[in-house]
Amino acid sequence: MSELWNGTGGNAWVDLAPVLDRMFVGIETALADAAAARGARRVLDVGCGTGATTMAIARRLGAGASVTGVDLSAPMIGAATARPADGFPAPEFIVADAAAYPFDEGAFDLMTSRFGVMFFEDPVAAFANLGRAIAPGGGLRFFCWRSPEDNPFMTAGTRATKHLLPEMPERRPGAPGQFAFADGGRVAEILRAAGWERVEVEPVDVPCAFPGEGVVGYLTRLGPVGQALVDADEGTRAAVLDALREAYAPYVDGDEVRYTAACWSVGAERPR
């Protein structure tokens, strides 16, 4: 994971940050609203990427709040740090593996994440470590993906290009990656085993959209297809791009690409 997010994967997310920020603005808003509703004043945003959600939470909570973003990717944290604060308290950003980083005990009253917690090799240990950073009675709120079957937009690319990219790895249920938390029951078990309580895992469908001019970069640089294309020859790249454009044509609406993100909205609390 470190190699991916500090190399091609992280660089792609930095380059495509405007597209991804537009795409996930609904989830960003939901997390900022959740932080405000809890009255949170010290927030840890895990897997913060280029910092859009971290910034949104800081903006929503305003003066007197402190927000910290943590991510494994140095390129993405570099981009997050470069974002202008525009008058609200600037978050702190840390390059670190949140699964093992020695956060001060009880330093935060809320942990948030927008699709940033599905990549832990040992999720129970990771959430136990994060739990120690949350004060008694504090909570978490994160969004993760439901199943591949529930998210045809996210899997159309691999289905359309598998015959062209035979080296593309198969998704393994429960393995670290985008759909690691597809099973909501497993997510609840992980959190309880890590010492969290009052766990809730609710299905949420989030409308997403992004500008049509961003579709080529999105389709060819992210996910399993983007990884498989890194070393592909020009002929293969051209064939893959044709297949991707055909597969995603049903999602194009005028000058935008639109789809529904099938997510779990997950909440839990630390014992008092």
Confirm whether 234 is domain-assigned. no
Confirm whether 244 is domain-assigned. no
**Backbone phi and psi for residue 266, each to the nearest 5 degrees, phi listed first:** -115, 130
**pLDDT confidence of 228, banded at 50, 70, 90?**
confident
Residue-level pLDDT at 163? 93
What value does the mean pLDDT take over residues 178-198?
97
Of 8-22, 176-190, 243-257, the poorest mean pLDDT is in 8-22
Number of domains in the chain: 1
Residue-level pLDDT at 226? 87
Confirm whether 221 is domain-assigned. no
User: HEC states along 16-29?
Assistant: CHHHHHHHCHHHHH
pLDDT at residue 117 greater than cutoff 70: yes
pLDDT at residue 171 greater than cutoff 90: no
Q: How far is CA 202 from CA 59, 153, 263, 268, in A?
A: 26, 21, 8, 12
**pLDDT confidence of 270, banded at 50, 70, 90?**
very high
What percentage of the chain reaches a pLDDT higher than 90?
81
Taking the C-alpha atoms of residue 195 and residue 124, their distance in angstroms, rounded to an integer, is 9
pTM > 0.85: yes or no: yes
Confirm whether 254 is domain-assigned. no
Residue-level pLDDT at 1? 65
Confirm whether 50 is domain-assigned. yes
Q: What is the CATH number of the domain that holds 81?
A: 3.40.50.150
Pick from 23, 61, 39, 65: nearest CA to 49? 23
Q: Which domain holds residue 137?
A: 2-148+171-211+260-269
Tokens read off for 270:
């630390």
**Backbone phi and psi for residue 71, each to the nearest 5 degrees, phi listed first:** -155, 150
* pLDDT tens digits, one per residue of 3-37: 777 777 788 889 999 999 999 999 999 999 999 99
Tokens 């917690």 -> residue: 117
Confirm whether 116 is domain-assigned. yes
**pLDDT confidence of 213, banded at 50, 70, 90?**
confident
What value does the mean pLDDT take over residues 164-176?
86
Confirm whether 245 is domain-assigned. no
pLDDT at residue 140 greater than cutoff 80: yes
Confirm whether 232 is domain-assigned. no
Higher pLDDT, 220 or 61: 61
What value does the mean pLDDT take over residues 217-224?
86
Residue-level pLDDT at 223? 85
For 186, residues 6+ apart whose C-beta sits below 8 A from its C-beta are 174
